[in-house]
Amino acid sequence: MSTLRTAYRQSCREDEGTLPSVYAARHLVNGQPGALLEVVATTAGRSVLSGLGLYAVGLRGRTLVQGAVASATAIECFVLAWVWREERQRARRARAA
């Protein structure tokens, strides 16, 4: 097993029960290699889920795709901001201790 995959699995074990997008965001905030690809992948997956919901309420065609991508991107931006804030608070607590 590759070192990157082992590190990823270890970091996932530290936060069991957390959504995959949080793992990807944490990896990106911490500067781990390949993290941007993880964030893009979780955003794409979320776009599919959003698209299914938008399709169910009647959106079709280009509007459906735009809505799905926009909603997934907005959620991912929120997750990235939240994780960035958590990491900053964690670093401050570590310095204070």
The token pair at 76 is 């991912």
SS3 label, residue 92: helix
What tokens were used for 44?
Answer: 């794409």
Rounded to whole angstroms, the Cα distance separating 4 from 7 reads 5
CA distances from 56 to 8, 38, 47, 94 (A): 35, 27, 14, 47
**From the centroid of its chain, how far is CA 4?**
18
> pLDDT-derived band of residue 7, with 50, 70 and 90 as boundaries?
low
d(Cα 17, Cα 33) in Å, to the nearest integer? Answer: 23
pLDDT digits (tens, 9 = 90+) for 26-60: 999 999 999 999 999 999 999 999 999 999 999 99
At 57-92, the pLDDT tens digits run: 999 999 999 999 999 999 999 999 999 999 999 999
Say yes or no to pLDDT of 2 above 60: no
